[in-house]
């Protein structure tokens, strides 16, 4: 008994669609022999595939399964129409480390022999509405941070470090069967405590200078060619000098399977980066006199739109971010990141 022959035909020759459009067509089935129990299923999905040599992974999103037929076939030719309303995205994309494709697969499942055929379509971004170009002023508070008292955290870090050093010292005098346990355990605890102590010291030096910091963005979602106005506000705990203020607009392709139970991999590929130093009216920040820095970030006209195929912390994405840096003389820099969305 031969397997049925399948083909997918679209109602229009161009298989390029906009988000929100309806795809119509037919699945043609040619049956050579009688099949008593058959099922014809149309599988619609968005598939992202890694192009990285050391990360062979793929994920499916927006997955739908449509049952077109179930029953018996006599020899002959059958046509089954279908209609699928496309989601707004993600769009079809060919990147540096991953691709996004929209696929249709027609499959026959039977007790005798299965058959399947697959085709692809191109999904473009959904057309913008008249409201999509509106951009707010720099008044939306996105981040506010105040100086913290880190005494308790410092105490714990010091205790951990001292405990680790003690366990390492103890390993030299312990019995051979316990020496390895004391040594490895003490080393791990010492490293954790030392890392925590370093990070806390870094934060404390920043908090020693900056009492309050605020970041206000005019918008988080913009189109290519638009601008995002922003305002940075700082109030000093003690007077301090600012060397420079820098804003960086960055786009990255990300493959993140680090939290996956198998094949734990993480890869980031930079697509775009623009660094600009902001003008400063004054470089001396005084107590009770906030320093306000205003500016704007321009999204390039040919910017690729954001893609989010992450689920439970794993997946693939094309992500945009803004990095703000305040470089202080002889002190650690203040750094803050804000994620933004570049829409069609």
pTM given for the model: 0.76
Tokens standing for residue 149: 């008292």
Nearest to residue 227, comparing CAs of 119, 135, 131?
135
Residues 6+ apart with CB under 8 A from 337: 321, 322, 323, 324
The DSSP secondary-structure symbol of 125 reads P
List the beta strands (DSSP E) in the chain. Answer: 5-10, 16-18, 22-31, 35-50, 58-73, 76-85, 93-94, 98-110, 115-124, 140-146, 210-217, 221-222, 227-236, 240-256, 266-278, 284-285, 291-298, 307-311, 314-328, 334-342
Exposure of 331 in the CB half-sphere (CA atoms within 13 A): 22
CATH for the stretch 5-124? 2.60.40.640
Position 136 scores a pLDDT of 46
Tell me whether the CATH fold assigned to 5-124 matches the one assigned to 140-342: yes
What integer pLDDT is reported at residue 95 of this predicted model? 94
Burial tier of 262 (Cβ tally within 10 Å: 0-12, 13-18, 19+): exposed
- Average pLDDT per run of 10 along the chain, which is 344 residues long? 88 92 95 90 95 87 92 94 92 95 94 88 70 50 63 62 73 71 73 69 62 89 94 84 93 85 77 95 82 93 94 90 89 88 92
Which residues are 16's β-sheet partners? 122
Give yes or no for a contact between 221 and 340, defined as CB atoms under 8 angstroms apart: yes
Q: Looking at the domain 140-342, which fold is it?
A: Immunoglobulin-like (2.60.40)
Output Rg (C-alpha) for the chain, integer angstroms: 29
Any bridge partners for residue 309, and if so which? 316
Distance CA 83, CA 75 (A): 26
Residue written as token pair 């035909």 = 9
pLDDT at position 228 is: 95
Q: For position 342, what pLDDT does the model report?
A: 95
Neighbours of 89 (CB within 10 A): 22
Q: Residue 230's closest CA among 134, 343, 322?
A: 322
Extents of the domains making up the chain? 5-124, 140-342
């Amino acid at each position: 008994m031969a397997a049925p022959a399948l083909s997918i035909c679209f109602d229009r020759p161009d298989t390029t669609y906009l988000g929100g459009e309806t795809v119509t067509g037919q699945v043609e089935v040619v049956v050579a022999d009688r099949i008593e129990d058959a099922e014809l299923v149309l599988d619609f999905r968005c598939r992202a595939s890694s192009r990285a040599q050391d990360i062979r992974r793929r994920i499916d999103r927006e997955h739908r399964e449509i049952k077109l037929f179930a029953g018996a076939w006599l020899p002959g030719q059958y046509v089954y129409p279908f209609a699928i309303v496309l989601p707004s995205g993600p769009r079809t994309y060919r990147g540096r480390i991953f691709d996004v494709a929209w696929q249709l697969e027609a499959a026959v499942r039977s007790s005798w022999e299965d058959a399947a055929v697959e085709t692809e379509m191109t999904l473009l971004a959904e057309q913008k509405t008249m409201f999509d170009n509106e951009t707010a002023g720099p008044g939306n508070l996105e981040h506010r941070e105040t100086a913290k008292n880190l005494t308790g955290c410092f105490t714990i870090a010091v205790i951990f470090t001292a405990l680790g050093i003690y366990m390492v010292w103890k390993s030299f005098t312990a019995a051979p069967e316990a020496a390895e346990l004391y040594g490895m355990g003490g080393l791990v605890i010492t490293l954790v405590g030392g890392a925590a102590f370093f990070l806390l010291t870094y934060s404390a030096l920043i908090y020693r200078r900056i009492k309050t910091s605020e970041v206000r963005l005019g918008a988080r979602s913009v189109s290519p060619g638009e601008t995002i106005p922003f305002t940075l506000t700082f109030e000093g705990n003690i007077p301090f000098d600012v060397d420079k203020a820098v804003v960086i607009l960055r786009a990255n392709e990300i493959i993140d399977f680090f939290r996956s139970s198998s094949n734990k991999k993480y890869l980031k590929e930079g697509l775009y980066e623009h660094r600009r130093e902001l003008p400063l009216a004054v470089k001396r920040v005084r107590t009770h006199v906030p320093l306000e820095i205003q500016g704007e970030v321009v999204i390039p006209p040919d910017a690729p739109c954001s893609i989010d195929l992450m689920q439970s912390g794993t997946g693939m994405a094309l992500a945009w971010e803004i990095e703000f840096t305040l470089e202080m003389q002889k002190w650690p820099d203040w750094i803050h990141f804000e994620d933004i969305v570049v829409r069609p």
